[in-house]
Amino acid sequence: MRKLKNTLTILIFILFVTNLHAQNLDNRLLQAINGPPASADGFWHGVANSDYGFVMATPASMLIVGLAKHDQVLKIKAFETGGAVLLAEGSSVLLKNLIHRQRPFVAHPELFYGKSSPTDYSFPSGHTSTAFATATSLSLAFPKWYVIAPSFAYASAVGYSRMYLGVHYPSDVLAGAAVGIGSAFLSFKLQHFLARKIH
């Protein structure tokens, strides 16, 4: 029993030190990206806000074209993309409310400039998750370099904008990207599974 207690104590200490180190790294990286108000603020606000249009317009336009051209494959791809976005958004909201991580500018107002004022929690980044869900879905639907490269460049810019604005740590953005990519693959696999069941 004493051996187990000692082992648990050591594990808790290791986790505490690891978490502390990771948080310090998060803070240092964010300080290098976030800064006082600057002329570029408007641009990065625009990039962050454009995510809403990007993630909604992409599956909607695919569906409209699919319906107009009676293209069943494109309609399925539209549902895959829309499903990925919904799954990414839902997962992000769930994780935010489970983890309760404060925004950087709230937790450390002496370190970071909050250039936007979201009131929900920080981990993971919802903007990043939906942007990467859409980028991954597009890349799976149209596996060409001229689709993949700009899609992921845009999603990465969205993630960067959230750090620049001081509303997310780098780890929030990385987690958001992972959630988005995972959601896209899950939606892709689910649609193909359902298609096989139907046919």
Q: What is the pLDDT of residues 85-102, one digit of tens each?
A: 999 999 999 999 999 999
Domain-located, residue 154? yes
Please tell me the least confidently modeled range out of 1-10, 25-34, 53-62, 97-106: 1-10
58 class by beta-carbon count within 10 Å (0-12 exposed, 13-18 middle, 19+ buried)? buried
DSSP 87-113: HHHHHHHHHHHHH-PPPHHHH-TTT--
Q: What percent of the chain has pLDDT over 70?
A: 86
Domain-located, residue 136? yes
Predicted local confidence at residue 15, as pLDDT? 38
Domain-located, residue 186? yes
Domain-located, residue 163? yes
Tell me the C-alpha to C-alpha distance, in Å, between residue 36 and each of 42, 115, 161.
13, 9, 14
Domain-located, residue 41? no
**pTM of the full structure:** 0.85
pLDDT value at 199 more than 80: no
Domain-located, residue 9? no
Predicted local confidence at residue 16, as pLDDT? 41
Give the structural domain span for 138.
Answer: 59-198
Domain-located, residue 143? yes
Q: pLDDT, tens digit, for every residue of 118-153? A: 888 999 999 999 999 999 999 999 999 999 999 999
Question: How many degrees, rounded to 5, is the angle at CA 71 between CA 85 and CA 180?
Answer: 15
d(CA 142, CA 62): 12
d(CA 176, CA 183): 10
Instruction: Using pLDDT thresholds of 50, 70 and 90, give the confidence band for residue 22.
Output: low
Give the pLDDT mean for 31-54: 93
d(CA 107, CA 110): 9
List CB contacts of 116: < 8 A, sequence separation 6 or more.
45, 48, 165, 166, 167
Instruction: Using pLDDT thresholds of 50, 70 and 90, give the confidence band for residue 116.
Output: confident
Give the pLDDT mean for 96-112: 92
Domain-located, residue 87? yes
* Total domains, the chain: 1
